[in-house]
Amino acid sequence: MHVVLRSDHARGAKSLLKYDGVVRAVIAKLAKRHGVSVYRVVNAGNHLHITLKLSKQFLWRGFISGVTGGIARTIQRKCDENSKQGFWNSRPFTRVINWGRDYNVVKDYHTLNQLETEGAVPPRSQMLKPERWRHIVLAFS
């Protein structure tokens, strides 16, 4: 399963990158408790990509509510204790993926997201602007 958790509040002091160790610890602890196999976690600052496998379907609710609540509680507690505003934008985006080609596409997407976060490649939103890539095309013409 591919899960995406997005928060527009996770910028600046509340960036998920600043709390990467805490985020990974919360996910690992709850995965062990609920029998979930986590294959990959990509932290992109304002959103998380998680690839996981559920051992039993009924364990999903406890796992995802624990992860979202645990991360939000930790970051809100350290940054803004009195905030009554929700941390996450909406419910988690989930997609069931198959082994093989589908899994490899998601894995490549995670790698691209990680490279964008580290600044190794420009964000896709900037690549939509022709002035960002036109000189590369002209160089190879």
Domains and CATH numbers, the chain: 2-139 (3.30.70.1290)
> Which DSSP state fits 88?
S
Mean pLDDT of 93-118: 85
CB 46 within 8 A of CB 78: no
**Listed residue (92, 8, 79) closest to 46, CA to CA:** 8
Judged by DSSP in three states, 117 sits in: helix
> Which DSSP state fits 36?
E
Cα distance between residue 101 and residue 92, in whole Å: 23
Phi/psi region, residue 78 (left: phi>0; alpha: psi -120 to 50; beta: rest), is alpha
Q: How many residues are given for the chain?
A: 141
pTM greater than 0.85 = no
> Is 90 exceeded by the pLDDT of residue 131?
no
23-69 pLDDT per residue, tens: 999 999 999 999 999 999 999 888 899 999 998 888 899 999 999 98
Locate 131 and state its tokens: 């002035």
